[in-house]
């Protein structure tokens, strides 16, 4: 049993720091005899560099030292290592740092120096148990993260399959979602949105029409204009898409785009007739990207519209169908960064054109 405990203790690396060589020698003899893997250091500056370069599980640290006191050593270490378990040793309780300092620096415990190391040994054993628990928690979190990533990828692949199914049902949508995704990202970058918002725009654009999986084929593939009843069926696709994505946590951020990219700024859109700033911001961006691609794509009943006509339409419906501020931003892109639009169009020029 004693050999098992000794082997177990060897699995942890302890560094002791005290500017009194006699203290280091005593600690080394005592703890190594019990089977601990301990390194002793008398120079606190050297100790900081050692912790920076090598892994240690626990530090025994004297408080009053030269050239650095223990709290300053911890301050430096916490800049690059938040996990090291630190026990502060004090020559007298009156010389211990304030409780606020101990909390701020995340010092796990301290004890007074003594000729006997019984109390220190208890704190070391307690510290190692805490380290064990943290290792186990970290391992569990890593396993959960891996499992979640696998689940996320599996669900993403299944939704991607649905997207391809929509394109197979309706060849006019092929390439449309990809372009809407890229136009949305282009607008988002112009607005200097965060990376998280840019990613949401990208994925939201890709899946914004996923709900068309629930629209009858004869309506999707109809070559001419739709009847009022058929158009009502088409108008269901945002709600259907939101319903498809709702069960998966990973898609919660893009659901507002999927559900509300056909809302109008004046409140006359669908499915919820949201008005103005009640329409989710990213959905307002996707609405511009979606409409732009519809206008600049060839339909069965018309060719793509000239860019000047497209700009006129956006200006005409500014504040009616579209967020007026976003229209201004998009017009600026069309007038000053049109080469980026052309790059996206060139990329998908071999794809079939879209239907809005």
User: Which residues are annotated as catalytic?
Assistant: 212
Sole residue written with tokens 């919660």 = 252
Give the integer Cα–Cα distance in Å for 356 and 354.
6
Token pair of 165 as six digits: 């199914």
Token pair of 191 as six digits: 């607005």
Q: DSSP assignment, residue 322? A: B
């Amino acid at each position: 049993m004693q050999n098992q405990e000794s082997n177990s203790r060897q699995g942890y690396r302890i560094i002791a720091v005290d500017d009194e060589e006699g203290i280091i020698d005593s600690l080394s003899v005592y703890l190594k005899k019990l089977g601990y893997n301990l390194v002793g250091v008398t120079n606190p500056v050297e100790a900081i560099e050692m912790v920076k370069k090598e892994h240690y599980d626990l530090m025994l640290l004297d408080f009053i030292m030269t050239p650095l006191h223990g709290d300053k050593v911890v301050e430096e270490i916490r800049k690059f290592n938040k996990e090291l378990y630190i026990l502060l040793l004090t020559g007298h309780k009156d010389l211990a740092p304030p409780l606020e300092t101990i909390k701020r620096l995340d010092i796990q415990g301290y004890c007074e120096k003594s000729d006997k190391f019984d109390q220190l040994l208890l704190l070391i054993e307690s510290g190692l148990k805490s380290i064990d628990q943290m290792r186990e928690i970290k391992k569990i979190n890593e396993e959960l993260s891996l499992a979640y990533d696998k689940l996320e990828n599996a669900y993403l692949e299944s939704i991607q399959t649905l997207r391809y199914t929509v394109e197979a049902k309706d060849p006019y949508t092929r390439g449309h979602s990809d372009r809407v995704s890229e136009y949305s990202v282009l607008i988002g970058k112009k607005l200097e949105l965060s990376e998280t918002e840019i990613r949401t725009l990208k994925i939201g654009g890709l899946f914004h029409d996923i709900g068309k999986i629930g629209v009858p084929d004869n309506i999707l593939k109809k070559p001419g204009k739709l009847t009022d009843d058929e158009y009502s069926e088409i108008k269901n696709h945002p709600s259907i898409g939101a319903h498809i994505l709702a069960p998966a946590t990973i898609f919660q951020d893009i659901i507002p785009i999927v559900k509300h990219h056909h809302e109008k700024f004046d409140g006359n859109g669908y499915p919820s007739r949201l008005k103005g700033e009640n329409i989710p911001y990213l959905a307002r961006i996707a609405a511009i990207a979606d409409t732009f691609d519809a206008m600049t794509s060839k339909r069965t009943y018309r060719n793509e519209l000239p860019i000047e006509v497209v700009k006129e339409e956006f200006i005409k419906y500014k504040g009616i169908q579209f967020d007026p501020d976003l229209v201004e931003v998009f017009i600026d892109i069309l007038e000053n960064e049109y080469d980026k639009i052309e790059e996206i169009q060139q990329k998908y020029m071999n794809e079939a054109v879209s239907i809005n």
